[in-house]
Amino acid sequence: MGQSETARASYTRPMAGTRPDRITQRTRNDKWKNAPLRIEMLECINCDACLRHCPPQFGAIFNHGPDVVIIPELCSGCDKCLPVCPVNCILPFGDWETKGSPVEWWDEAASPNDPYL
């Protein structure tokens, strides 16, 4: 194996381990096995209980205008938000990779409006 092949074989994409890394790279941690969660906005009553129960090391739930949203790249699927939702509007987001997060949702992360800072 030549030098360039060795370098290519040993290269791996940096893992988005910390929340700032995930915000910068806009990617989920490869080790997370659970699907991220999403909020069914038509059912959400905007009580913010989910936001208050999202662990700060993930910090995936934000107020975005009149909506409460979960950025799937930041969500580990830990389910801490599920039992506190009074209307059960939080669901697995199985096909998030094909949809991706809207760019404007990322404006909330690491901004002065970020509730996890």
Q: pLDDT by residue (tens digit) across 35-90?
A: 999 999 999 999 999 999 999 999 999 999 999 999 999 999 999 999 999 999 99
CA–CA separation, 59 and 82 (whole Å): 15
Mean pLDDT of 10-15: 51
Q: Does domain 3-106 have CATH number 2.60.40.1580?
A: no
Beta bridge partners of 62: 69
Amino acid at site 108? E
Q: Which residue has the higher pLDDT, 38 or 15?
A: 38
Element (H, E) at 106: helix 103-106
Q: Report pTM.
A: 0.83
Q: Is the dihedral of CA 113, 70, 64, 51 positive or negative?
A: negative
Maximum pairwise Cα distance, the chain = 59
Q: What is the pLDDT of residue 14?
A: 58
Q: Give the least confident one: 2-11, 18-27, 61-70.
A: 2-11
Average pLDDT, the chain: 87
- The domains of the chain are located at 3-106
The 8-class DSSP code of residue 45 comes to: -
